[in-house]
């Protein structure tokens, strides 16, 4: 398998084009080639002049935790590093002043295949800013670690009023697209010239394959995405952020571990197993988060183990877990109400699921499996987005 970055060095025309331009690079720690060399090093080896570095949520170096604004900086050579994750929604895109420095923006970000992982929306917002400024964009694409099989799509598109930085445009939760495909799709929908936004795609990988088929290590794209096992559960595990349950931040198994001080983990595991959801076993655990929710307090809960990666349905599984946790102690369970990804007018759980239905059904005590099946279901229009995105990426092939 060769990513866009792997292919860049041997591309017949892109090297010369980049050398003739003032180039910006939007990247993070997982922007590496098959030798584990970073995109910045590859551009240096190609004698490409990099005038500006940009970092998404968690920062160009990937040091910051979630929801933490990142300051601008300079690298060891004095090149500006602009943060695209600050204190306001306006901080999420490059400014006109940023883009005056460059003619072409190279984007190399590893996505993990879930609507709420923000890197793809950073790329889309950067695309719009570049288009307005007349700056070209080249996306060096990377595969989806959850694969691109249309049969594995879960979680319907969100309603327009529930769009946010954890879903800037309506797409399924587990969407089976690459970052480059989503950027190309939006460029087509928004009528941007094809010479302005191009994608250097992935070669040599079957679309349905998971990250285990990449023949290279899984490099953490963010602090709480340490392994491919984390990525497998994330389209469901991130839902826990919308509740007062711990999603395992402050442990060595974020998103795989779920719990709270009042939860009975053995009961939660048994209740989940009674639903006979595919590809998963839940092991009762106690844990003590080192930071964030319930920091320093022993929690009861479960460790979610994926037994069949291709059959596992993360979104449905974690919807069921949330419903079961609420049913176990409705007085102490709560949905998050404070500011979340720059919105405080909609509960975080609704932003994540795409509307208010799942939260309302859980609160009124609907059967957990019914909630999971209803909210996880997708239709032909959801799948059509993936096909449109694939075609858009082909049309904008670099």
| In the chain, where the domains are located | 4-222+382-395, 228-376
200-213 average pLDDT score:
95
Q: Decide: 130 and 390 in contact? Cβ < 8 Å.
A: no
Which long-range contacts link 237-240 to residues 24+ away (Cβ below 8 Å)? 237/304, 237/314, 237/318, 238/114, 238/116, 238/117, 238/352, 239/315, 239/318, 239/319, 239/322, 239/349, 239/352, 239/353, 240/318, 240/321, 240/322
Cα–Cα dist 42/48, whole Å: 9
Cα–Cα dist 378/325, whole Å: 25
- Whether the per-residue pLDDT at 28 is higher than 90: the answer is yes
Return the residue matching tokens 């419903």: 323
User: Which CATH number, 3.30.750.200, 3.40.50.2020, 3.30.420.40, 3.90.1150.140, labels domain 228-376?
Assistant: 3.90.1150.140
For the chain, list the strands marked E by DSSP.
23-27, 50-55, 73-74, 80-83, 104-108, 136-140, 197-200, 257-260, 280-287, 299-306
Which two tokens mark 291? 């930071």
329-348 average pLDDT score:
96
- Residue-wise pLDDT for 235-263, tens only, equals 999 999 999 999 999 999 999 999 999 99
Res 192: pLDDT: 98
Res 131: pLDDT: 98
- Residue-wise pLDDT for 270-298, tens only, equals 999 999 999 999 999 999 999 999 999 99
Res 276: pLDDT: 97
Res 318: pLDDT: 98
Q: Decide: 174 and 382 in contact? Cβ < 8 Å.
A: no
**What is the signed CA dihedral for 381, 384, 385, 388, rounded to 10 degrees?**
-150
Least confident of 67-76, 191-200, 377-386: 67-76
51-75 average pLDDT score:
93
Res 265: pLDDT: 98
187-197 average pLDDT score:
98
Cα–Cα dist 109/55, whole Å: 10
Determine the length of the chain: 398
Confidence grade of residue 172 (pLDDT, cut at 50, 70, 90): very high
Q: Decide: 12 and 208 in contact? Cβ < 8 Å.
A: no
Q: Decide: 315 and 323 in contact? Cβ < 8 Å.
A: no
The structure's pTM equals 0.97
- Whether the per-residue pLDDT at 153 is higher than 90: the answer is yes
Res 68: pLDDT: 85
- Whether the per-residue pLDDT at 5 is higher than 90: the answer is yes
Confidence grade of residue 67 (pLDDT, cut at 50, 70, 90): confident
- Whether the per-residue pLDDT at 311 is higher than 90: the answer is yes
- Whether the per-residue pLDDT at 356 is higher than 90: the answer is yes
324-338 average pLDDT score:
97
Q: Decide: 103 and 23 in contact? Cβ < 8 Å.
A: yes
Superfamily of chain region 4-222+382-395: Uncharacterised protein PF07075, DUF1343 (3.40.50.12170)
Res 101: pLDDT: 97
Mean pLDDT of all residues in the chain? 97
DSSP result, 188-227: HHTT--TTTEEEE--BS--TT--GGGSSS----SSTT--S
Cα–Cα dist 367/235, whole Å: 21
Res 319: pLDDT: 98
């Amino acid at each position: 398998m060769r990513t866009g970055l792997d292919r860049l060095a041997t591309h017949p025309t892109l090297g010369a084009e980049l050398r003739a331009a003032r180039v910006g690079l939007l990247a993070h720690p997982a922007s590496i080639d098959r030798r584990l060399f970073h995109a910045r090093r590859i551009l240096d080896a190609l004698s490409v002049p990099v005038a500006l570095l940009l970092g998404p949520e968690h920062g160009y170096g990937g040091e910051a935790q979630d929801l933490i604004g990142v300051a601008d900086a300079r690298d060891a050579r004095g090149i500006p590093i602009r943060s695209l994750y600050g204190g306001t929604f306006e901080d999420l895109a490059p400014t006109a002043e940023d883009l005056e420095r460059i003619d072409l923006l190279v984007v190399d970000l590893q996505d993990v295949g879930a609507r709420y992982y923000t890197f793809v929306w950073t790329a889309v917002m950067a695309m719009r800013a570049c288009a307005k400024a007349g700056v070209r964009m080249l996306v060096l694409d990377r595969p989806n670690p959850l694969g691109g099989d249309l049969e594995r799509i879960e979680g319907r598109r969100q309603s327009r009023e529930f769009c946010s930085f954890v879903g800037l445009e309506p797409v399924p939760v587990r969407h089976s697209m690459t970052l480059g495909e989503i950027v190309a799709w939006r460029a087509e929908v928004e009528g941007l010239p094809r010479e302005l936004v191009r994608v250097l795609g992935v070669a040599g990988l079957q679309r349905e394959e998971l990250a285990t088929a990449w023949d290279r290590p899984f490099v953490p794209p963010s602090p709480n995405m340490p392994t491919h096992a984390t990525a497998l559960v994330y389209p469901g595990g991130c839902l826990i952020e919308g509740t007062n349950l711990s999603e395992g931040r402050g442990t060595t198994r974020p998103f795989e571990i779920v719990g709270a001080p009042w939860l009975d983990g053995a009961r939660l595991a048994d209740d989940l197993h009674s639903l006979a959801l595919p590809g998963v076993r839940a092991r009762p655990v106690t844990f003590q988060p080192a930071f964030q929710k319930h920091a320093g307090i022993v929690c009861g809960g479960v460790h979610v183990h994926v037994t069949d990666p291709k059959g596992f349905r993360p979104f449905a599984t974690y919807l069921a877990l949330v419903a079961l946790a609420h049913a176990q102690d409705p007085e102490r369970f709560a949905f998050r109400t404070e500011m979340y990804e720059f919105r405080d007018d909609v509960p975080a759980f609704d932003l994540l699921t795409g509307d208010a239905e799942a939260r309302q059904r859980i609160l009124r005590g609907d059967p957990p499996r019914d909630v999971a099946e209803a909210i996880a279901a997708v239709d032909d229009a959801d799948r059509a987005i993936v096909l449109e995105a694939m075609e858009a990426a082909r049309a904008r092939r670099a």
